[in-house]
Structure 1
Amino acid sequence: MDVENRVRTAVLDHYAVGRDDVDAASVTFLGLEPIEILRIPGAGEVHYATLGGSRHPMGDPADLLADPLRGPRAELVLTLLASGGPQVGVGRSLGVLAASPAVEGVVLQADALLDLSEPLWRNAKFTAVLLGESELPEVALPDPADPVRYLSVTPVTATEAAWVRLRGAQALRDAWAEAGIDVRDPERSAVNL
């Protein structure tokens, strides 16, 4: 089963682009297959989508035997306004996040807060991300494998990450909506909490 090609086709179809219309980079971690990051231009925005994190299902690292087919599978998509220009280093950061299930046993899911403890890209004020539901549909795999879900990645500041820990993900999303903050803006300020 070639999970990566199924996911690549689904992402390119969703954004209605061809393989030649996207830039790709890959990040390699010792002992793991490479994670590819696609940079997909859109109307006034750019999407960064991971490929390779869903090759294997995520599972509990305490399990003695991992099921090679069953279990949740996820990839990540980050959408930023294109007006900010290219974000140097964002591909590496997304690769680290997508590899975290294999490296650290993390299960990627909506409302998860993941802290990189370093800027997501050069000169970024964001050091963590909040995962959420994505507009990309699930990618079906042959039975008995679970489908691949795309999760949206929203960059958050250290203050916003603390807010999530205290009040929850939805409280932060509500604060963004109330303040009229566009979380796709790479230059946005943190919400006043």
Structure 2
Amino acid sequence: MLQLTETALTSALGEVDARAAVTFLGADRIEVLRFADRERGLVRYATLGMSASAMTDPTASVADPERGPRAELVLTLHAGHPATDQVLRPLAVLAAAPQVEGLVVVPDACLDLGEPLWPGAPFQAVLVAEPGGLVPDLTLPEPRDPVRFYPLLPMTPAETAWQRARGPQALREAWLAHGTDLRAPDRGAVPLSG
């Protein structure tokens, strides 16, 4: 199944530029693939392995290994910032959270690492965006749910606190109102009020 997932990623994002694998105790191996979009000056990082298992609610009495949401994570940044390639392990940590912590990743979820996404990054958390825009959902044979590819939007600590208080929609509106470039690896927090 992971081969199908990788094919879906390469069909949408191009050839893999680099890859790294991380294994966590009690979790399957997670790879992070790097895609360079030289035409647009972007670099994309996508997890591979998170979708191998369906995400299940930790409070469920019985976990169905076949049924349940499946996902991979995609982070897009402007190329040229050398430290961003060190986001590979933090992304793998986020991708392993469903197996390790019983987390079910959904749009508008806040995933907080508690440390910078890469050395010197102004971001410690990401907001999970709606899937389907960049990489289409991957339909799997029944009874499995499709794999959804969730874009990640980096948040500064101030933005993370504000969206927890006001909600993700309010943060998206603030980003939009200020023309925030969410792909800028060194951007500051959007001006927040209210």
Under TM normalisation by the shorter chain, which class is it?
over 0.9
For 1:164 and 1:153, how far apart are their aligned partners in 2?
15
For 2:177 and 2:30, how far apart are their aligned partners in 1?
36
Q: Which residue of 1 aligns with 2:33?
A: 38
Q: How many residues align?
A: 188
For 1:7 and 1:22, how far apart are their aligned partners in 2?
16
Which runs of 5 or more residues in structure 2 are unaligned?
Answer: none
- RMSD (Å), alpha carbons: 1.1
Whether 1:121 and 2:118 are equivalent positions in the alignment is yes
Q: Which residue of 2 aligns with 1:94?
A: 91
For 1:89 and 1:80, how far apart are their aligned partners in 2?
13
Cα contact 1:88–1:122 (8 A) shared by 2 = no
For 2:79 and 2:130, how far apart are their aligned partners in 1?
22
For 2:26 and 2:159, how far apart are their aligned partners in 1?
33
Task: After TM superposition, give the deviation of residue 60 of structure 1 in Å.
Answer: 1.1
String of CA shifts for 1:84-136, please: whole Å, max 9, x gaps.
23414201110010010000111001100111110110111111110001321
Matches within 5 A, 1:15-34: 15=13, 17-18=14-15, 21-34=16-29
Matches within 5 A, 1:14-93: 14-15=12-13, 17-18=14-15, 21-42=16-37, 43-93=40-90
> 2:129 aligns to what SS in structure 1?
strand
Q: Which residue of 2 aligns with 1:13?
A: 11
Task: After TM superposition, give the deviation of residue 139 of structure 1 in Å.
Answer: 0.5
For 2:60 and 2:109, how far apart are their aligned partners in 1?
21
Cα contact 1:76–1:151 (8 A) shared by 2 = yes
Cα contact 1:131–1:154 (8 A) shared by 2 = yes
Which runs of 5 or more residues in structure 1 are unaligned?
Answer: none
* TM-score (normalizing by structure 2): 0.93
Cα contact 2:26–2:100 (8 A) shared by 1 = no
For 1:78 and 1:103, how far apart are their aligned partners in 2?
21
Q: Which residue of 2 aligns with 1:174?
A: 173
> 1:155 aligns to what SS in structure 2?
strand
Letter in 2 for 1:23: A
Q: Once superposed, which parts of structure 1, at least 4 consecutive aligned residues long, lie more than 6 Å away?
A: none
* TM-score (normalizing by structure 1): 0.94
